Amino acid sequence: MSRVLIPISRAREQVLAATVRLAAEPVPLGIALGRVLAEDVVAATDLPPFGNSAMDGFAVRHDASSGALRIVGESRAGTPAPLAVGPYEAIRISTGAPLPDGADAVVPVEDAREEDGTVTATAAAQAGQHVRRAGDDLRAGTVVLRAGDRLGAAELGVAVGAGAAELLCARRPRVAIVCTGDELRAPGEPLGPGEIHNSNAPMLAALAQQEGAELLETVVVGDDRAATERAFAQALEQADLVVASGGVSVGPHDHVKPALAALGVQESFWRVSLQPGKPTWFGTRGERLVLGLPGNPVSSYVTFVLFARPALRALQGAAALPPRASARLTRSLPRRFREQAVRVALSEQTGTLLATPTGPQPSHITASLLGADGFAFVPPGDGELAEGDAIEVERI
């Protein structure tokens, strides 16, 4: 296989081409937050299902509502009035209560003067005033949510209004993370000479879980071929996506690629024209996806977002790639021989999207991730992009 660096776009295409959508399963609405719909949600009934009041006040007939109106009953939420409104009559009504038969307007309490069993409107009532019609929100039979939508709080509320109690969603992708390196120690452990804390494990786990993944395990293995192979063999038994952190280069202690080859994982690509993240590796075994990320923390973060995140979304049937936009740089950036994914803070000024780099960009400077809400893609080449130049950006 050629060792020519492939562009980011081509690498993403290969990842998505190998990704097979997961099966669907019914999920009770109460635990569906963050899940991805596998089918459209259609409103079973109108919402609201009946005409009701938008205000506390009095339900009236607008064409017979002048002068003192006799109060003949009350409509409360959950307890409709048992009688209709006649001419020059009113029914006391609460917000959300069903509109009584005959009524076509509501006089708010603040626009009414009540005295001796009658009420007088201080302003003429208009037809439809403060009335919510049946179906104003949702109409029965209409599609209110689409397959591929991720369920947030608003979507769950709409689904309830549409009459759903459970939703057909894609199964959550199962992810295993294997971190390699003799130097890695757990967060908070004392460090010996040459040792570092394993920041990639919690970072990658969080990124996966933010995409709705089920985290199976996070394993740390030393620079040992047999141990590396055992860790990947176990991960491949259950995971839809196996993520390796570190060990994907060609040094004498980089055992990830030979271990995966021995386990029958077919290499799709290795080395992307990307800074940071050149030694990114991707392969498959059947429908199992394996992504090998560089060990530097920023490289690991960037390549997960660019390649693993689209795979996790595609596994669930969601839109895999976010749209790109054009922004203006607020400071100059040098060009390199590889495409750069520069961490930037995005803002808007007088209708123009601005991209501001988040400080120094080397792959070991994790502080560059703080405050970043997008990547700005600097094309390969000579010279630099100047302040004010247009640049493609993608929100993180």
Which residue intervals of the chain bear CATH 2.170.190.11?
52-132
Number of Cβ within a 10 Å radius of residue 278: 17
Q: Is the dihedral angle over the CA atoms 252, 254, 260, 263 positive or is it negative? A: positive
Which residue intervals of the chain bear CATH 3.40.980.10?
8-23+171-315
* Element at 106 (helix H, strand E): strand 105-108
Model's pTM, two decimal places? 0.90
Which residue intervals of the chain bear CATH 3.90.105.10?
34-45+139-170
CATH number of 34-45+139-170: 3.90.105.10
- Residue pLDDT, tens place only, 123-172: 999 999 999 999 999 999 999 999 999 999 999 999 999 999 999 999 99
Contact 362, 339 (CB under 8 A): no
Location of structure tokens 């570092």: 196
Query: What's the CATH fold of domain 8-23+171-315?
Result: Molybdenum Cofactor Biosythetic Enzyme; Chain A (3.40.980)
Instruction: Give domain 324-395's CATH number out of 2.40.340.10, 1.20.1050.10, 3.30.750.24, 2.40.50.140.
Output: 2.40.340.10
Query: What's the CATH fold of domain 52-132?
Result: Molybdopterin biosynthesis moeA protein; domain 3 (2.170.190)
3-state secondary structure of 285: strand
DSSP 364: T
Q: How far apart are the C-alpha atoms of 16 and 8, rounded to whole Å?
A: 12
- Residue pLDDT, tens place only, 293-352: 999 999 999 999 999 999 999 999 999 999 999 999 999 999 999 999 999 999 999 999
